[in-house]
Amino acid sequence: MLNVGIDIGGTKIAGGVVDAAGGIIEKLRVDTPTDVGALVDAVVGMADALRSRHDVAGIGVAAAGFIDRERSTVIHAPNIAWRNEPLRAILEERLGAPVAIENDANAAGWGEFRFGAGRGRRDMVMLTMGTGVGGAVVADGALYRGGHGIGGELGHIRFERNGLPCGCGQNGCLEQYASGRALQREAAAIAAQSDLGTQLRAARGADGVIHGADISRLVLADDPGALEALRRVATALGEACGGFQAVLDPELFVIGGGVAQLGDVLLEPIRLAYETSLPGYGDRPVAEFAVARLGNDAGLIGVADLAGESS
């Protein structure tokens, strides 16, 4: 059985035909239009192009934002002008076929659970370290969505009281301390204020910014400034995971996003902070930690699989 999965990102829309084993048969990519109408046109055009060449059973679309419990309406999207947008109805009318709608982090988490690092588990939490921190919770083999459909927003747990302002309108959210953007901020602070920052200062681009790829390069070269920036961010995420363990008790935490390419260099300080933050540590089972395996395709694969379940 083949399904179409489409993942709407802030800069690109990725779509593909996915088989029952999570393999991508064909993949397309276009830039994300800034106009909402043009964005819907792009999604419809991509879905039509893919299903014209393949016999597909279902269509799934993943988007950043709060999706209601019925998986039909985008209540709020941070980067797209959708407020109570009946996205499923709009797409189904245009495509003449059923469409499954899902939050992008949930879709990515489901992809990893079914076909990636979480395969074979029953309870898993995925945390994606990107511009923010995306979260997905799989409990007893099913996505946890909550009473209103918008559960699992783990990046917006208040991590520090009266902390840094967040794009969600609150202050002190975890994503301000444990994201790829937070890593850049910490690296910039070390470059400006510390003797450890010699190589970080040299890595500044023409725009004055230390980009994530350069920080990763320095981390892998054992630069002390870059390692300290990573330790700060990883510690924040690990401390939060200790709290998530107390509430959700997953078998496994899967860490995704661009920073996750650092592998054990990232996971080791996360594990240490997790252990020191875990209630009853030493007398209770602990979770394992793993790096996500599906990369940027996780959301596309996950939402295609969810479309198959609902078709």
Does one domain contain both 128 and 264? yes
Does one domain contain both 223 and 167? yes
Does one domain contain both 268 and 184? yes
Does one domain contain both 152 and 288? yes
CB 37 within 8 A of CB 63: no
Does one domain contain both 133 and 254? yes
Can you give the pTM of this predicted structure? 0.95
CA atoms of 289 and 274, how far apart (whole Å): 10
Does one domain contain both 132 and 260? yes
Question: How many domains in the chain?
Answer: 2
Does one domain contain both 223 and 203? yes
Does one domain contain both 259 and 154? yes
Please report, as a single letter, which amino acid is at residue 301.
I
Q: Give the domain extent around 301.
A: 2-112+296-310
Does one domain contain both 83 and 158? no
Alpha-helix residue ranges (DSSP H) falling in 123-263: 175-178, 180-193, 198-202, 212-220, 224-248
Does one domain contain both 182 and 84? no
Burial class (CB in 10 A: 0-12, 13-18, 19+), 32: middle
- Residue 249 main-chain phi, psi, to 5 deg: 50, 55
Does one domain contain both 44 and 149? no
Beta bridge partners of 103: 63
Look up residue 40 and give its two tokens: 């819907």
Q: pLDDT digit of tens for each residue in the chain (311 aa)?
A: 999 999 999 889 999 999 999 999 999 999 999 999 999 999 999 999 999 999 999 999 999 999 999 999 999 988 788 999 999 999 999 999 999 999 999 999 999 999 999 999 999 999 999 989 999 999 999 999 999 999 999 999 999 999 999 988 999 999 999 999 999 999 999 999 878 999 999 999 989 999 999 999 999 999 999 999 999 999 999 999 999 999 999 999 999 999 999 999 999 999 999 999 999 988 999 999 999 999 999 999 999 999 998 76
Domain containing residue 58: CATH number: 3.30.420.40
CB 61 within 8 A of CB 87: yes
